[in-house]
């Protein structure tokens, strides 16, 4: 018998602090597998953001820089401009990327920075205990929308892939999820495309992963996956929103 599945080398041998059933763990593993398969761990520098994944600097076996909340794309820009032949990625949640960091996100994309952005969209602020996120759904109950998100007061959620797909600097904007083996495999392919784009200097790649937060949604891991399927995918349809290679724009 041969080993057909084991822990990727780029994932440090450190137990995750994430809640049971939190999809962060799946996505971390996919990023690590991709870095291993592309053989780029030695030249990779990851930028950790602020949120549940703040300790990601402990989980990836490459050089890591911890950025202030929302600023990861700017830190990544400083790194990439200084180390143009290295592989730079950010790993961000919905508050980090689409609330406090919205300007940094839009401008890194419009500049076409050759970085890869992994965006975990679980429609809530996990680390701070379940407050509304820019991606929380209308009517969704959170700690700061205890009666359900009222769009007349709190506005409507932001669809990040759609937003960034309007920018010329964006090479890839793809929304995926990890609720099934089939979708995990699609997510991994998208992440790989995002890193390949960087290596081929095609511009900014973002892979938005529709994710669960069982703890703050108040659901079991399996119930959370069902809530994702029933509610989130309608508002956040999976798919490719921009892909310069598909358009024949292979810069």
Partner 1 sequence: MAKITINETLCKGCGLCVSACPKQILTLSKEKMNSKGYHPATIIDMEKCIGCTSCAIMCPDVVITVER
Partner 2 sequence: MAEKVLMKGNEALAEAAIQCGCRHYFGYPITPQTEIAAYMSKRMPKIGGTFLQAESEIAAINMVLGASSAGVRAMTSSSSPGVSLKSEGVSYIAGSDLPALIINVQRGGPGLGGIQPSQSDYWQATKALGHGDFQMFVLAPSTIQEMVDFVKLAYEVGEKYRVPSMILSDGMLGQMMEPVEFPEKNDQDIPEKPWATNGHQNKRKKNIINSLYIEPQELEDLINERYQRYELIKENEQRAEEFMTEDADIIVVAFGASSRVSRSAVHMARAQGIKAGLIRPITLWPFPDKTIKKSMDTASKYLVVEMNKGQMVDDVRLVVEGKKPVEFFGRTGGIIPTPDEVLAQIKKLAGKEE
Which residues contact partner 1 by CB under 8 A? 1-7, 11, 15-16, 18-26, 29, 180-181, 184-185, 214, 220-222, 225
Region near partner 2 per CB under 8 A, out of 79-87, 144-152, 157-165, 193-201: 79-87
Q: Does 81 bind partner 2 (CB under 8 A)?
A: yes
* 8 and 33 Cβ atoms separated by less than 8 Å: yes
Q: Is the dihedral of CA 164, 166, 167, 169 positive or negative?
A: positive
Binding mask 97-136 for partner 2 (x = CB under 8 A): ------xx-xx---x-------------------------
Exactly one of 19, 25, 57, 219 binds partner 2 (CB under 8 A); that residue is 57
Binding mask 3-42 for partner 2 (x = CB under 8 A): --------------------------------------xx
Name the one residue in this structure whose structure tokens are 């809640």: 19
* 47 and 31 Cβ atoms separated by less than 8 Å: no
Q: Which is nearer to partner 2, 83 or 246 (CB)?
A: 83
Exactly one of 78, 138, 148, 221 binds partner 2 (CB under 8 A); that residue is 78
109 binds, among partner 1, partner 2, none (CB under 5 to 8 A by kind): none
Closest CB 55 distance from partner 2, rounded Å: 8
Cross-strand partners of 125: 131
Closest CB 185 distance from partner 1, rounded Å: 8
Q: Which is nearer to partner 1, 109 or 124 (CB)?
A: 124
Cross-strand partners of 120: 93, 209
Q: DSSP states of 54-106 as a string?
A: GGHHHHBSSEEEEPPTT-HHHHHHHHHHH-TTSEEEEEEEHHHHHTTTHHHHH
Region near partner 2 per CB under 8 A, out of 69-77, 122-130, 176-184, 234-242: 69-77
Closest CB 177 distance from partner 1, rounded Å: 12
45 closest CA partner among 92, 88, 90, 91: 88
Q: Which is nearer to partner 2, 21 or 73 (CB)?
A: 73
Q: What is the spatial distance between Cα 101 and Cα 110, in angstroms, rounded to a whole number? A: 14
Separation in Å, CA 172 to CA 33, 178, 196, 202? 20, 19, 11, 9
Q: DSSP states of 138-187 as a string?
A: TT--BTTBTT---HHHH-----HHHHHHTSTTEEEEEEEE-SSHHHHHHH
| Phi and psi angles of residue 240, each rounded to the nearest 5 degrees, phi first | -95, 120
Binding residues for partner 2, rule: CB under 8 A, are 41-45, 47-48, 54, 57-58, 61-68, 71, 74-83, 86-87, 103-104, 106-107, 111
């Amino acid at each position: 018998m041969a080993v057909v599945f084991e822990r990727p080398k780029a994932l440090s041998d450190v137990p995750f602090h994430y809640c049971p059933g939190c999809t962060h763990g799946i996505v971390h593993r996919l990023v690590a597998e991709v870095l291993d398969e592309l053989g780029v761990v030695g030249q990779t520098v990851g930028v950790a953001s602020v949120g549940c994944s703040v300790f990601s600097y402990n989980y990836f076996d490459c050089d890591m820089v911890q950025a202030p909340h929302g600023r990861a794309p700017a830190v990544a820009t400083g790194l990439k401009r200084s180390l143009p032949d290295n592989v730079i990625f950010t790993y961000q949640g919905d508050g980090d990327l689409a609330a406090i960091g919205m300007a940094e996100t839009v401008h890194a994309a419009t500049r076409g920075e050759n970085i890869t952005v992994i965006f975990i969209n679980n429609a809530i602020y996990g680390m701070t205990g379940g407050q509304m996120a820019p991606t929380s759904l209308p009517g969704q109950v959170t700690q700061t929308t205890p009666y359900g998100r009222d769009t007349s007061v709190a506005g409507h959620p932001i669809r990040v892939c759609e937003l960034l797909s309007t920018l010329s600097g964006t090479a890839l904007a793809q929304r995926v999820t990890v609720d099934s083996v089939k979708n995990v495999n699609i997510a991994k392919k998208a992440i790989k495309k995002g890193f390949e784009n960087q290596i081929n200097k095609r511009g900014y790649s973002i892979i938005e992963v529709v994710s669960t937060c069982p703890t703050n949604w108040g659901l079991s891991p399996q119930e959370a996956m069902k809530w994702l399927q029933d509610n989130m995918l309608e508002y956040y349809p999976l798919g490719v929103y921009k892909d310069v290679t598909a358009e024949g724009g292979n810069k």
